[in-house]
Amino acid sequence: VYKRQVVERSLNPDGTPAEPDDGLGPITHTATATVRPFSVIVTVHKQGLNCDVGVTVCDNTLPGAEFMVYKSDPLAPNAPAGVPLTNTDGSATFVTGKLPVNDDYWLVETKAPDGFQLLPQPIKFYLTHEGITLDAASASGLITADTASFTITIVDVPAAELPKAGGEGTLPYLA
């Protein structure tokens, strides 16, 4: 609950507050307040296994990935549509629009780079004005959050190569 008191005071010609006889007394007090954002932008950084978490420069940009953020569990029946993250420079860095704080969100990879796997499940995270908390049940050791910068880092796993299958079969041996 916020309380607000509005006091109107006029100014003298020199810009100093006039002190009317309003019963409030002279203006001698100042107030300070901590301003916290009501919404923040979250950055998602995707990197390959050859990049280490915390490395500031990584050459593996993994073009071709796409992400969406959802306000509710996207696997639930009748889940509302997600909002795509933007990537304007072709790098592996994506950003959300402004997301209201003190709420849960789900991050979904909708397209993986060539030769890589999609995230196996949505990543649930809780967003506050102080940072991001990943939900332990939906995250993994390859997904980390940097609270100070509102950044989620995803280390991508290359797709496993399927074994070669097929061959002559048994037909040549039946004759």
Reply yes or no on whether the pLDDT at 73 is more than 90: yes
Contact 84, 66 (CB under 8 A): yes
Q: What is the pLDDT of residues 98-150, one digit of tens each?
A: 999 999 999 999 998 877 888 889 999 999 988 999 998 877 778 889 888 99
54 vs 32: CA distance, rounded Å: 36
Please tell me the predicted confidence (pLDDT) of residue 104: 94
Q: How high does pLDDT run on average in the chain?
A: 77
Sign of CA dihedral 63, 66, 67, 68: positive
Helix residue spans in the chain (DSSP H) = none
Question: Nearest to residue 71, comparing CAs of 146, 125, 142, 32?
Answer: 125
Please tell me the predicted confidence (pLDDT) of residue 67: 92
Please tell me the predicted confidence (pLDDT) of residue 117: 82
59 vs 114: CA distance, rounded Å: 16
Please tell me the predicted confidence (pLDDT) of residue 142: 83
